[in-house]
């Protein structure tokens, strides 16, 4: 494994498989009340410069279940919010803690943090990517479908952090990935370059959701306006009209097609209430799997190396 989890582009297929297999084991242990306090006495600092429900609760609970402790640092209330350089914050947390989870805006802030500390850094979402969420998505799809390789993953909507991580994670795991987003809202060029970099990658980018959804085994969407884009909501609502997961779109997919949504969801925008409720079991299993996938990441990155 790498020292940090900064983006899925840094991981090999074997790293992802190791995380998913470890998550399966830790989930089994938790469900069967088998002690798994491998991070006894260790502390995770959690820096949040954006809002969160799932990421905060799943990291904090996960650290507790692993026998360790998590502490919450709000960007606004810590010295980070008053401009203390990230390099200094990194070198201070290094002296107290065993790992750092950070949710922020720029990917470069997370990369800079990781370069300046010896302890593992975990990306809990940036504008560029959301690796922990996509590890949970892959875990959920594998639970339902038994394999990932050869399945068709279809993403409809904004070419945002979720789209970027789904393209990379899906292709690395041998899935076919098809995306539909309006012009001007494409995934990051680095991610599109990655998709084109290997002739074995099955990747398509469409402008209409229907073209992307045909024959899909899993359909995924996300909000049209991400955190930090609140002022663009009206403009985006117009740009994304028609990029909705609804019954008509689901009719084009394979039988037993799953729906995933990282949440929070906006019913009536990127997904109808009907499709959301018909797939609520899969969507809330996905939310639960944040806990198990992140426990695997924390275990693999933060355990004593001689373990």
Residues 14-43 that bind ligand CP (CB under 6 A): none
| 44 alpha carbon, distance to own chain's centre | 19
CB 97 within 8 Å of CB 43: yes
Q: In terms of CB distance, is 85 or 228 closer to ligand NVA?
A: 228
Q: Which does 161 bind (CB under 5 to 8 A by kind): ligand NVA, ligand CP, none?
A: ligand NVA
Distance between CA atoms of residues 123 and 5, nearest Å: 6
When asked if residue 262 is in the footprint of ligand CP (CB under 6 A), the reply is yes
Distance between CA atoms of residues 273 and 54, nearest Å: 21
Q: In terms of CB distance, is 125 or 250 closer to ligand CP?
A: 125
When asked if residue 252 is in the footprint of ligand CP (CB under 6 A), the reply is no
When asked if residue 52 is in the footprint of ligand CP (CB under 6 A), the reply is yes
12-20, 50-58, 139-147, 276-284 -> range binding ligand CP (CB under 6 A): 50-58
Q: In terms of CB distance, is 89 or 161 closer to ligand CP?
A: 161
Q: Which does 269 bind (CB under 5 to 8 A by kind): ligand CP, ligand NVA, none?
A: none
Q: In terms of CB distance, is 4 or 158 closer to ligand NVA?
A: 158
When asked if residue 260 is in the footprint of ligand CP (CB under 6 A), the reply is no
127 in active site:
no
236 in active site:
no
- Per-residue tokens: 138: 């892959």
When asked if residue 263 is in the footprint of ligand CP (CB under 6 A), the reply is yes
Give the active site residue among 54, 142, 279, 290.
290
Give the nearest distance from C-beta 264 to ligand NVA in angstroms.
Answer: 7
Q: Which does 53 bind (CB under 5 to 8 A by kind): ligand CP, ligand NVA, none?
A: ligand CP
When asked if residue 161 is in the footprint of ligand NVA (CB under 6 A), the reply is yes
Q: Which does 220 bind (CB under 5 to 8 A by kind): ligand CP, ligand NVA, none?
A: none
Q: Residues binding ligand NVA: what is the number (CB under 6 A)?
A: 9
Q: Which residues are catalytic?
A: 103, 130, 133, 222, 262, 290
- Which stretches of the chain bind ligand NVA, using CB under 6 A? 125, 160-162, 222-223, 226-227, 262
């Amino acid at each position: 494994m790498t020292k940090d989890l900064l983006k899925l582009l840094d991981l090999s297929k074997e790293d992802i498989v190791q995380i998913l297999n470890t998550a399966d084991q830790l989930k089994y242990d938790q469900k069967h009340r088998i002690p798994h306090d491998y991070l006894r006495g260790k502390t995770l600092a959690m820096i949040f410069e954006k809002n969160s429900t799932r990421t905060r609760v799943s990291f904090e609970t996960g650290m507790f279940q692993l026998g360790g402790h998590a502490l919450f640092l709000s960007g606004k209330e810590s010295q980070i919010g008053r401009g203390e350089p990230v390099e200094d914050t990194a070198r201070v947390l290094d002296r107290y803690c065993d790992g750092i989870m950070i949710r922020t805006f720029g990917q470069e802030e997370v990369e800079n943090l990781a370069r300046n500390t010896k302890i593992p850094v975990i990306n809990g979402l940036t504008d560029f990517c959301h690796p922990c969420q996509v590890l949970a998505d892959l875990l959920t799809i594998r639970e339902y479908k038994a394999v990932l390789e050869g399945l068709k993953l279809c993403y409809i909507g904004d070419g945002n952090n979720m789209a970027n991580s789904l393209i990379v994670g899906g292709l690395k795991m041998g899935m076919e990935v098809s995306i539909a987003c309006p012009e001007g809202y494409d995934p990051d060029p680095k991610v599109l370059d990655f998709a084109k970099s290997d002739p074995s990658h099955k990747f398509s980018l469409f402008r209409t959701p229907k073209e992307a959804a045909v024959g899909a085994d899993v359909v995924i969407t996300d909000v049209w306006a991400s955190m930090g884009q609140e002022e663009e909501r009206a403009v985006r609502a117009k740009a994304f009209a028609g990029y909705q997961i609804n019954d008509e779109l689901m009719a084009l997919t394979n039988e037993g097609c799953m729906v995933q949504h990282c949440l929070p969801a906006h019913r009536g925008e990127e997904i109808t209430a009907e499709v959301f409720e018909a797939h609520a079991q899969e969507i809330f299993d996905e939310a639960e799997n944040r806990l198990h996938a992140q426990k695997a990441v924390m275990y693999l990155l933060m355990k004593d190396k001689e373990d």
